[in-house]
Structure 1
Amino acid sequence: MEFISEYGLFLAKAVTVLVVIAVVLALIANSKQKSGSSDGHIEVTKINDKFEQYTDAIKSEVLDSAARKLEQKLKKKRHKEQKRLEKGRSDSEKTSAERRKRVYVLNFDGDIKASAGNNLREEITAVLGLAEKVDEVVVRLESGGGMVHSYGLAASQLMRIKERGIPLTVSVDKVAASGGYMMACVADKIIAAPFAILGSIGVVAQLPNFHRLLKKNNIDFEMFTAGEYKRTVTMFGENTDKGREKFTDDIEKTHVLFKEFVAEHRPVVAIEQVATGEVWYGRRALDIQLVDELTTSDSYLLNQYPNADIFEIEYAHKKSLPEKLGLAAEASIDKLALRWVSRLQPSRWF
């Protein structure tokens, strides 16, 4: 009985939350509010400040009182000297050689559709409004690949940086394979963690075919096309050898384009050796020149920190009220479910 009562209470709470959300969303949908604001905005984080905060936090615990006072005194002196050097001329009046280098950090976490390419477009547009040839753009890229046209567009976005003559570095901490490597190869320099996965310069396509299942159940499937190769293979119709041959030929042509793209942007690689669809870990990828250096993105940026101003750029979407309510409701339901399940099997939950 206790179990039934707890379960009923859980359901009542969950249903109540869902009903409230449904009512609110309905009211919002019916109200015709118009807003001239954009869908998102650029957020900038100075990574130098983050590094300094980490260092100060450690020093406050490790150093004794006298050492901390000395450190603070030296820090103030350094800041004072830096302000003195910069005094008299604004940053816009300085030549590129006179100011500190700026490093702009972008993040690309790719799914099969390269959806992050939409944000990447906006971030690159923002950076190109200020970056100069003495600066650098670092893209922290993670992707196992996906649709050819989507990753082709994402790679083209990175080429905009190269076309402006701004140094481009791609950093791979985990994986840049297939379409991910198509993007990476555009860079002036590719760095990777020792066990990051790179390569997979190949093309794959697969689909199920239910024709025999439909035929067994006396279900007809009809498709009408104009053009001999408008549809070569299908999920529901009967595939022919001619259709399969044409489909395979299309894949081979796509592979040739992929190889030509990599060879154009990274001529140091032996393209026929690496374009087999295989993947390599960072250490082996360095041997065959798929990458230029073995290091993590954290190490690379930390080495830049003393001599450059490092800015992380992110295009943040403005969440609508329904989205915010949906996220809040999802979190509430998750908490309720976790609480209920944990009572049933406490030994399996923390």
Structure 2
Amino acid sequence: MSLSTSARLRAALRPVLPERWRTPSTVVPVVRIQGAIGIGTPFRPAVTLSSVAGPLEKAFAVEGAKEVAVIVNSPGGSPVQAHLICRRIRQLAEETGLPVTIVVEDVAASGGYMIACAGDEIVADPSSIVGSIGVVSAGFGFDRAIERLGIDRRLYTSGENKAILDPFQPEKAEDVERLKEIQREVHEHFIALVKERRGASLSDDAELFTGAFWTASSGLALGLVDRIGDLRSVMRERWGDKVELRLMTKRTPLLKRLMGRGAEGVEASLPDEAMAAIEARALWSRFGL
């Protein structure tokens, strides 16, 4: 029997063994949050509050837990879903009194960094990418392409601003300015959250809130992370070699897994899958991943 198999067997048997036979250990529940936030299809589930709420609640409910560790590996995405997840983590931490350690893997940028701000401590690998505290919107303009193809765009609305930024119509300066106003407001909310959570740790670097991003080695000096390290090393240093890292997962019914369907049983179309994959790929590629 391998060491890892033996450890898993002991962990499984511990609850049913008499107290005197149990090997004492400290339990740290672990929740993994990985992927683009709010961008998905039934075949490619997105990171949303509904997708992580179950594992988070299980983690904070573990009897005898000393703290909760959350692994974050996300290039960002929906600011709303990122904020909801951040708030849920903080709500659960305050309700239970358990501290939260965020451990960054490849990247915690934009919405991924917003989630990381839910931690009482942020730990990252020296080469992890952190930051990107900004807001971005991207799209394509097809108006000249459909004109060359001889295609007419027929769009009917009630409300003069209902079809602003339609990709099949020429871009208007007033539409872009309206979008930028929304971006500025969302950006201000993001900055306020980072300042609230990171407080005096933040440096006064002029680029901090420009959307720039850094390795965690540089981010440490900027106050974006608290220490360089990895989950197991930090938890062993804090709680000893017998610490038990218990991964919380969301159970998916077997039938749904076999059928490849989402929670609602809605089949995804190939165009939807392709667009979701392209959008997620674009987010990751911004950080060289």
TM-score bin (small chain): 0.7 to 0.9
CA distance in 1 between partners of 2:29 and 2:22 (Å): 24
1:153 to 84, 87, 99: 84
CA distance in 2 between partners of 1:182 and 1:287 (Å): 18
How many Å apart are 1:291 and its aligned residue?
A: 0.5
**One-letter amino acid of the counterpart of residue 216, structure 2:** G
Q: Which protein is richer in helix relative to its size?
A: 1
RMSD: 3.0
Q: Which residues of 2 match residues 186-265 of structure 1 at below 5 A? A: 186-265=118-197
C-alpha contact 1:176 1:197 (8 A) present in aligned 2: yes
C-alpha contact 1:113 1:147 (8 A) present in aligned 2: yes
C-alpha contact 2:216 2:228 (8 A) present in aligned 1: yes
1:83 to 3, 6, 20: 20
C-alpha contact 1:209 1:236 (8 A) present in aligned 2: yes
CA distance in 1 between partners of 2:226 and 2:250 (Å): 29
Give CA deviations for 1:50-105 in whole Å, capped at 9, x if unaligned: 49759xxxxxxxxxxxxxxxxxxxxxxxxxxx82899xxxxxxxxxxxx9643111
Provide the residue aligned with 1:102 in structure 2.
27
Give CA deviations for 1:276-306 in whole Å, capped at 9, x if unaligned: 1111111101011100010012322343343
CA distance in 2 between partners of 1:260 and 1:231 (Å): 31
Provide the residue aligned with 2:277 in structure 1.
none
How many Å apart are 1:310 and its aligned residue?
A: 3.2
- Do residues 175 (structure 1) and 94 (structure 2) align? no
Give CA deviations for 1:162-194 in whole Å, capped at 9, x if unaligned: 322210000012110111000001110000011
CA distance in 2 between partners of 1:184 and 1:156 (Å): 11
CA distance in 2 between partners of 1:281 and 1:326 (Å): 37
Label 1:167 to 1:208 Cα distance change in 2 as closer, same or farther (>3 A): same
C-alpha contact 2:203 2:221 (8 A) present in aligned 1: no
CA distance in 1 between partners of 2:251 and 2:154 (Å): 45
2:258 to 324, 332, 337: 324
C-alpha contact 2:236 2:242 (8 A) present in aligned 1: no
Give CA deviations for 1:23-69 in whole Å, capped at 9, x if unaligned: xxxxxxxxxxxxxxxxxxxxxxxxxx849759xxxxxxxxxxxxxxx
How many Å apart are 1:210 and its aligned residue?
A: 1.0
CA distance in 2 between partners of 1:269 and 1:291 (Å): 9
How many Å apart are 1:231 and its aligned residue?
A: 3.7
CA distance in 2 between partners of 1:206 and 1:311 (Å): 39
Structure 2 residue ranges without an equivalent (≥5): 9-18, 40-45, 262-289
How many Å apart are 1:307 and its aligned residue?
A: 5.5
- Do residues 310 (structure 1) and 245 (structure 2) align? yes
C-alpha contact 1:193 1:294 (8 A) present in aligned 2: yes
Which entry has the higher C-alpha Rg, 1 or 2?
A: 1
**One-letter amino acid of the counterpart of residue 106, structure 2:** K
Provide the residue aligned with 2:273 in structure 1.
none
TM-score when scaled to structure 2? 0.72
CA distance in 1 between partners of 2:240 and 2:258 (Å): 36
C-alpha contact 1:120 1:157 (8 A) present in aligned 2: no
C-alpha contact 1:142 1:176 (8 A) present in aligned 2: yes
Identity of aligned residues (%): 26
CA distance in 1 between partners of 2:103 and 2:228 (Å): 10
- Do residues 269 (structure 1) and 202 (structure 2) align? yes
**One-letter amino acid of the counterpart of residue 275, structure 1:** F
TM-score when scaled to structure 1? 0.61
CA distance in 2 between partners of 1:257 and 1:228 (Å): 28
Structure 1 residue ranges without an equivalent (≥5): 1-48, 55-81, 87-98, 328-350
Provide the residue aligned with 1:143 in structure 2.
74
Label 1:162 to 1:325 Cα distance change in 2 as closer, same or farther (>3 A): closer
Label 1:85 to 1:144 Cα distance change in 2 as closer, same or farther (>3 A): closer
Q: What SS class does the counterpart of residue 315 from structure 1 fall into? A: coil
